[in-house]
Structure 1
């Protein structure tokens, strides 16, 4: 079975469409979505609708939780709290109650098994939507924060917007990167493919080109709050600009 794991769309429906086309071309058997569907992008409604249309397994990310109940103090630096809630309120204004209910009821993790290979997938860590585990974390941190909660062969998550594949204690750990807002300097949507065939496991990070200028232009068209910063992030694929 060939499974595509996608996450961190962040309202960038143009990037999502490009990824879904790439997945179709690669003849993937199943898609799993690891959260952060709508917040901080110019097309929250269309992004949710595209994900709903997949009729597949979707879990909740921290940004989905923020859409539902707002950004709480302590979850982001105090200096940006009001602005991030303004962005959240704008996103909520673009969707309807059915979308809110959909995000609210999403589970926070999933386990899968194929040909004896076990997968554990979550947004940030198995116990938190907000913890940050970076690509250069020590093996001991990967073990304690990602692996220890449940036995599996492959662990997958999103949240940090920086894709990587590592191997720790015989386990495969994959971060999917981000479809809508990559932070690794590569202006291409990122997702992961895991293939299990005849008991053999193969993994890859896929990078998909899309017309990111159209996304940048949409921020102005829809009068998104915090437009300048978000346009810079999309243009540079980095939060350090």
Structure 2
């Protein structure tokens, strides 16, 4: 059995499609939240998620986009100096899209090849679980103590696996879309589970369209800095 794990897609359909071209033999697809915001293609990403029947938890940016939409904010009514990525994104989404984001759960669980997995977007902002005690405390509070042996988080955009014992681990598949400013890598990050083996993966894709379309968007100066993620590297 093969499971594809995605996280922090952030409205980047090009990276998502590049991953799928490589991993389309996956039997199941799960996402660890932040489907939208900080990217130019929110509608395309949500359509892809529904078309492929992806099970996803809700990320903080998904919740924020939904809240902004419900507040009745329309991108064209916001001055350029104040316009953020979220304002751009919600101007492209409709009621059905927002309802989809709102119904995403905080947690998801599944079993595959003898292992029990639990997904949630954030552990504790940008902190990590470093001990068995922290693992057990979090499992008790977030998952009611259920015996999930593998936890999967997103949010940090930092890919990694940490083994806490022979049986317990947590993993972050990294961001499909972009890295943190101190990481110049431009590949799309994700994870796969094949016959119980958890693997971290990266794939290159063409960023040129993302960079070009971002340059043409009306965004405030701080939000426009995000285009560095897809800028050509010398």
TM-score class normalised by the smaller sequence: 0.7 to 0.9
Asked if 2 retains the 8 angstrom alpha-carbon contact of 1:90 and 1:225, the reply is no
Shift of 1:218: 1.4
* Alpha-carbon separation, structure 2, partners of 1:141 and 1:234: 39
The alignment yields a C-alpha RMSD, in angstroms, of 2.6
Measured at CA, do residues 144 and 225 of structure 1 come closer, stay the same or move farther in structure 2, by a change above 3 Å?
A: farther
Deviates more, 1:213-222 or 1:2-11: 213-222
5 Å-filtered alignment, 1:57-68, equals 57-68=55-66
Aligned pairs for 1:80-99 within 5 A: 86-99=84-97
Report the counterpart of residue 75 of structure 1 in structure 2.
Answer: none
Write the distance in 2 (CA, Å) between the matches of 1:69 and 1:236: 34
Aligned to 1:229: 225
In structure 2, how many angstroms separate the alpha carbons of the residues matched to 1:47 and 1:4? 16
Gaps of 5+ in 2: 70-80
**CA distance in structure 2 between the partners assigned to 1:57 and 1:187 by the alignment:** 26
Distance apart, 1:134 and its partner CA: 4.1
**Partner SS for 2:84:** helix
* C-alpha distance in structure 2 between counterparts of 1:145 and 1:88, whole Å: 34
In the alignment of these two chains, the number of paired residues is 215
1:168 pairs, out of 142, 152, 164, with: 164
Unaligned 5+ segments in structure 1 are 72-82, 126-130
Distance in 2, matches of 1:145 and 1:187, equals 35
Give TM-score scaled by structure 1 length: 0.80
Match of 1:181 among 159, 178, 181: 178
Q: Tell me, in whole angstroms, the C-alpha distance in 2 between the residues paired with 1:209 and 1:87.
A: 24
Tell me how far 1:85 sits from its aligned partner. Answer: 7.1
**In the TM superposition, what is the alpha-carbon distance from 1:13 to its structure 2 partner?**
1.0
Partners of 1:101 and 1:35 lie apart in 2 by 15
Check whether the contact 1:70–1:85 (CA below 8 A) recurs between aligned residues.
no
Residues 42 and 224, structure 1, Cα contact 8 Å, conserved in 2: no
Output the CA distance in 2 between the equivalents of 1:51 and 1:14: 13
SS at 2:161 equivalent:
strand
Name the CA shift for 1:142/1:99 in 2 (closer, same or farther; >3 Å). Answer: same
Seen in structure 2, the aligned counterparts of structure 1 residues 195 and 98 have a Cα distance that, compared at 3 Å, is same
TM-score in terms of structure 2 length: 0.82
What are the Cα deviations for residues 137-194 of structure 1, in whole angstroms up to 9, with x where unaligned?
Answer: 5325752565444421211111100000110133121101000122243110000111
How many Å separate the matches in 2 of 1:30 and 1:3?
5
Question: What's the CA shift string for 1:62-101, capped at 9, x where partnerless?
Answer: 1100001139xxxxxxxxxxx8873322211111111011
After superposition, where does 1:190-229 map in structure 2 within 5 Å?
190-196=189-195, 201-226=196-221, 228-229=224-225
